[in-house]
Amino acid sequence: MSKEENELLGISPNGKDLCISCDCETKYSHDTSIEYRTHYVEGAGQLCEKCYDTIMNKLQTVAAQVEKDEKGL
């Protein structure tokens, strides 16, 4: 595979998956099964630990807000 094709697929020159949010290199090889990954979001892709935490925090804040809205608070 060419370098350009790899970049298109979100793979680093070392064959590692890139974080879908900040494009940093994760520790997972592109062929690592998602069963053996952490910080992987199904349907989205691999995130680094930092982005995963940030995004999960945001989701929790949004979910908490939605819950409040539904209760009319």
Q: How far is the CB of 14 from Zn ion (least distance, A)?
A: 16
The span of 3-11, 14-22, 30-38, 56-64 binding Zn ion (CB under 5 A) equals 14-22
H or E stretch covering 6: helix 3-8
- Smaller CB distance to Zn ion: residue 6 or 41? 41
Give the CA dihedral 48, 46, 21, 27, nearest 10 degrees: 40
Residue 62 CA to residue 20 CA, distance in Å, equals 21
Q: Binding string to Zn ion for residues 51 to 70, with x set by CB under 5 A, is what?
A: x-------------------
